C-alpha cells in the first residue's frame, strides 16, 4: 500500500503527438481514484505510465515516495486488471492466480493458501481447476481480479475492467469491486469512460479531456460544482441541459424566458468577469411540472410552456424531452461531448432539453405542459473557454 504521486507527468510520442500533458494528481494511500473521460482523452495512457507499460516523457511518478520512472513494471509492485482480462489461456484458474506468486518464487504452501483465500473472497473456489475458456465473462473478470489481489501489491490499476460485461452484471460487479477495495484498503486507480462507474465507485474522480486534467474532486462535488462545460456535460446522466442566454443587469434572457439572477448567482458572478453571451446549464432534476409546485416556491423560479416530445416513465419519476426554438448552445467542449456520445450526427434543430419530473405529473407526450425550474440552480458558462462562471471552488 502506498500513495501515488504524478508530478506534471507528460507523454509525448516520437511523432510529436502529446497524449498526456502536465498531469498532477496526488493519490492518497488507500484511496480509490477514477480516471474518466471520453476515448482518446489520455486516461489509459496515464494508467499505463503508472504501470510502467509506457515511458514517461517528462515529469515524475512516485509510488510510496520513491521515484519509479525508470523502473520496469515488475519492479513497481503494482497489479493491473485489463479490459480483456488477459487471462493466460493455457493455465487453469488456479495457475492463473498463482502465476505472480510463482514468479516471485513464493513457496508452495503460501501460494496454495493465498490462492485459496483469494478464490474464497471472489467466490471462485469451485472453478479453480477450470480453464479460462470454460468460464463466463463475470467469472473471468473475477479471476483477473484474483490474479491482482493474491500478491497484495502496493496498488491496483484497473483499465475498464467491467466494460466487457453485460449491463446487469456490470452493476453487480461494480458493487463487488467497491466492496473488495474497501475490504483490502489498497490504493486503486480505475480507468473508465462510463461516468456512472466514475460517480458510484470513486473516492475522487479525475475528469480528463485531450490529455489534460479538467477537474479533480469527490463525485458529488464534481456534479454540483463542475469547473467547466466539459465536466458539467460529462458528469451526470441524463446530461446537464445547455441553453444559450444573454446576461443583462439582473436578468438572464433565454429561450426559456427571462431568468432572474438570484443572490447566490449574482454573488458568484461578481468576480467572474462574465461576457454578455453565456451558456446556461440546468440539471434535469431542477425542473418540475409547474402544477406540482407550490405558489410560493414557484415564484423563486421560472415557468415556461412547451410541447413535450417524448415522455419516458421510469416508475419513480418521468423524463420529459422538449425541443425549444432558437439557437443551440455551441462550444468546443459541447461539440466534443456530442461526438463522444455519438449524437453529433443526430439531426435536430434548436435546443433539446430533458427534464426529470415527478411520477405524479399529468403531462402527456405531444401536448404542451407547464414546466418550472429553480432559478437558483442555474450554472453559467463562458462559451469562449468553457469556464464555469458560477464555480464555487
Partner 1 sequence: MSHAVKTDNAEPALPPKAKAALSEGKRAERRLGLLLCAPAILIMAAVAGWPILYSLWLSLQRYDLKFPDRTEFVGLENYVTVLSNPYWWNAMWVTVLITVVSVAVELVLGMALALIMHRTLVGRGIVRTSTLIPYGIVTVVAAFSWRYAWTPRTGYLAETIAGGDPVLTEKIPAIMVVTLAEIWKTTPFMALLLMAGLALVPDDLLKAAAMDGASAWQRFTKVMVPVMKPAILVALLFRTLDAFRIFDNLFVLTAGSQGTSSVSMLTYNNLIKGLNLGIGSTMSVLIFIAVAIIAFVFVKLFGTAAPGGDGGGRR
Among 62, 71, 116, 131, binds partner 1 (CB under 8 A): 131
20 vs 355, beta carbon nearer partner 1: 20
313 sits near partner 1 (criterion: CB under 8 A): no
- DSSP annotation of 391 reads -
344 sits near partner 1 (criterion: CB under 8 A): no
392 sits near partner 1 (criterion: CB under 8 A): no
Per-residue b or e along 345-383, where b marks 16 or more CB atoms closer than 10 Å to that residue's CB: eeeeeebbbbbbbeeebebeeeeebebbbbbebbbbbbb
Between CA 205 and CA 222 the distance in angstroms is 8
Q: What is the pairing mode between strands 212-217 and 257-260?
A: unpaired
77 vs 258, beta carbon nearer partner 1: 77
Cα first-last separation, the chain: 31
Among 74, 113, 183, 266, binds partner 1 (CB under 8 A): 74
Q: How far is the CB of 226 from partner 1 (least distance, A)?
A: 34
Contacting range for partner 1; rule: CB under 8 A; set: 129-137, 251-259, 353-361, 367-375: 129-137
72 sits near partner 1 (criterion: CB under 8 A): yes
Helix, strand, or coil (residue 256): coil
Contacting range for partner 1; rule: CB under 8 A; set: 63-71, 82-90, 177-185, 220-228: 82-90
Contacting range for partner 1; rule: CB under 8 A; set: 38-46, 71-79, 252-260, 375-383: 71-79
Sites for partner 1 among residues 97-116 (CB under 8 A): 99-100, 103-104
Distance of CA 184 to the CA centre of its chain: 23
80 vs 378, beta carbon nearer partner 1: 80
347 sits near partner 1 (criterion: CB under 8 A): no
- DSSP annotation of 388 reads B
Chain position carrying cell 449574482: 266
**Phi, psi dihedrals of residue 190, rounded to the nearest 5°:** -125, 125
73 sits near partner 1 (criterion: CB under 8 A): yes
Q: How far is the CB of 93 from partner 1 (least distance, A)?
A: 10
Sites for partner 1 among residues 150-209 (CB under 8 A): 151, 157
Task: Give 41-108 as a DSSP string.
Answer: SSHHHHHHHHHTSS--SEEEEEETTEE-TTS-GGGTTEEEE-TT----TTS-HHHHHHHHHHHTT--H
- DSSP annotation of 177 reads H
145 vs 351, beta carbon nearer partner 1: 145
Between CA 36 and CA 230 the distance in angstroms is 12
89 vs 393, beta carbon nearer partner 1: 89
51 sits near partner 1 (criterion: CB under 8 A): yes
53 sits near partner 1 (criterion: CB under 8 A): yes
* Residues 6+ positions from 58 with CB-CB distance below 8 Å: 8, 9, 10, 12
Residues that bind partner 1 (CB under 8 A): 51-53, 72-74, 78-80, 82-90, 99-100, 103-104, 131-135, 140, 147, 151, 157
Amino acid at each position: 500500500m502506498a500513495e501515488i504521486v504524478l508530478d506534471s507527468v507528460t507523454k509525448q510520442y516520437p511523432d510529436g503527438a502529446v497524449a498526456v500533458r502536465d498531469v498532477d494528481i496526488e493519490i492518497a494511500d488507500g484511496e480509490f481514484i477514477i480516471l474518466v473521460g471520453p476515448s482518446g482523452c489520455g486516461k489509459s495512457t496515464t494508467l499505463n505510465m503508472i504501470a510502467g507499460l509506457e515511458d514517461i516523457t517528462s515529469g515524475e511518478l512516485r509510488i510510496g515516495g520513491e521515484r519509479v520512472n525508470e523502473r520496469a513494471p515488475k519492479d513497481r509492485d503494482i497489479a493491473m486488471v485489463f479490459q480483456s482480462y488477459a487471462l493466460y489461456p493455457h493455465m487453469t484458474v488456479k495457475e492463473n492466480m498463482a502465476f505472480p506468486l510463482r514468479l516471485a518464487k513464493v513457496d508452495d504452501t503460501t501460494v496454495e493458501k493465498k490462492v485459496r483465500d483469494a478464490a474464497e473472497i471472489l467466490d471462485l473456489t469451485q472453478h479453480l481447476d477450470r480453464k479460462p475458456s470454460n468460464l463466463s465473462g463475470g467469472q473471468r473478470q473475477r479471476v483477473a481480479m484474483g490474479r491482482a489481489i493474491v500478491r497484495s501489491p502496493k496498488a491496483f490499476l484497473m483499465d475498464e475492467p467491467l466494460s466487457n460485461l453485460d449491463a446487469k452484471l456490470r452493476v453487480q460487479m461494480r458493487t463487488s469491486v467497491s466492496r473488495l477495495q474497501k475490504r483490502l484498503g489498497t490504493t486503486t486507480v480505475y480507468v473508465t469512460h462510463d461516468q456512472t462507474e466514475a460517480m458510484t465507485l470513486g473516492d475522487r474522480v479525475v475528469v480528463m479531456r485531450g490529455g489534460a486534467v479538467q477537474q479533480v474532486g469527490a463525485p458529488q462535488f464534481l456534479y454540483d460544482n463542475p469547473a467547466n462545460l466539459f465536466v458539467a456535460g460529462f458528469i451526470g446522466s441524463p446530461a446537464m441541459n445547455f441553453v444559450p442566454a444573454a446576461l443583462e443587469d439582473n436578468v438572464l434572457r433565454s429561450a426559456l424566458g427571462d431568468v432572474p439572477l438570484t443572490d447566490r448567482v449574482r454573488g458568484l458572478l461578481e468576480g467572474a468577469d462574465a461576457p454578455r453571451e453565456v451558456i446556461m446549464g440546468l440539471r434535469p432534476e431542477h425542473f418540475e411540472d409547474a402544477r406540482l409546485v407550490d405558489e410560493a416556491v414557484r415564484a423563486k423560479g421560472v415557468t415556461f410552456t412547451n410541447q413535450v416530445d417524448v415522455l419516458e416513465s421510469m416508475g419513480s419519476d418521468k423524463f420529459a424531452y422538449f425541443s425549444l426554438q432558437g439557437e443551440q448552445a455551441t462550444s468546443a467542449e459541447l461539440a466534443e461531448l456530442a461526438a463522444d456520445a455519438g449524437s453529433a450526427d443526430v439531426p435536430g434543430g434548436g435546443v433539446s432539453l430533458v427534464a426529470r419530473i415527478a411520477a405524479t405529473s399529468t403531462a402527456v407526450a405531444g401536448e404542451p405542459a407547464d414546466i418550472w425550474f429553480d432559478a437558483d440552480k442555474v450554472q453559467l458558462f463562458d462559451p469562449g473557454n468553457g469556464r464555469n462562471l458560477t464555480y464555487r471552488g
